[in-house]
Amino acid sequence: MAITIEHQTAADSEGLFLALQDERIYEFLDEVPPDSIDAVRAVIERRLKGAPRSSGETWLNWTVFEDDVVVGYTQATLSKAGTASLAYVLSPNVWGRSVAYTACVLTIAELKATGSITALTADTKIKNVRSQALLERLGFNRNYADEHNVFYKRILA
C-alpha cells in the first residue's frame, strides 16, 4: 500500500467525511465528527482562504491517501518566526500500520522544502500515548507538559 499526501482541495470532501466518522478519533480532540460532506467542504474552503492576515501565519493542509483512499489529513501552521506547528488526524482503520508516521514524514519533507522552517512543534493530550509515541518516533523531543497536554519540539537540520 502506498501512502501519499496531496495539498487539500474541496474535491477531498467526501473522502475526508468518510474517513473522519469514527468516534474513536475524537477521544483526544475538542471536536465531533463532521455531520455532512458539505460541512467538510466548508472547512476545507475556509482553510484554503488562509489564515487571517493579522495573524502572521500561513496554513498548509494535506489530504492523506492510502493508495487512492482518503484516510485523513495533516496540517501545519507556519509562523513568520520560522516555526511550524504540526497536526494530524487519521482514521482508526489505519492506526498501528505506520500510516500516520509516513504521512508525517512526507509532511515534514514538504515543510523542509519551504526553506523557511527551522523548528517544528506539536502537542497532544496527556492521555494520548499513541500520539506521543508517534511524535517521539518522528524525532520530536518532549518540551513540557501541563495538566492536559504534552508539548513537543523538533529542530530541523
pLDDT digits (tens, 9 = 90+) for 2-39: 999 999 999 999 999 999 999 999 999 999 999 999 99
Domain 3-114: CATH superfamily is Gcn5-related N-acetyltransferase (GNAT) (3.40.630.30)
Looking at residue 111, what DSSP letter applies? H
Q: Which of 107, 6, 22 is nearest to 66 (CA)?
A: 6
pLDDT of 1: 84
pLDDT at 136: 98
Name the β-bridge partners of 4.
Answer: 65
pTM comes to 0.96
**Residue 3, H or E segment:** strand 3-7
Going from N- to C-terminal start, the domains of the chain cover 3-114
pLDDT digit string, tens, across residues 130-149: 999 999 999 999 999 999 99
Per the prediction, the chain carries an average pLDDT of 97
pLDDT in tens, 58-86: 999 999 999 999 999 999 999 999 999 99
Determine the Cα–Cα distance for residues 72 and 57; give it in Å rounded to an integer.
Answer: 23
pLDDT at 72: 98
Q: What is the pLDDT of residue 157?
A: 75
Beta-carbon contacts of residue 73 (< 8 Å; ≥ 6 apart) = 8, 16, 61, 62, 63, 64, 88, 89, 90
Query: What are the residues whose beta carbons fall under 8 Å from the beta carbon of 110, sequence distance 6 or more?
Result: 5, 60, 62
Can you list the positions of beta strands (E) in 11-148?
58-66, 69-78, 83-90, 119-125, 141-145
Look at residue 117 in the predicted model and tell me its pLDDT: 96
pLDDT tens digits for 90-129?
999 999 999 999 999 999 999 999 999 999 999 999 999 9
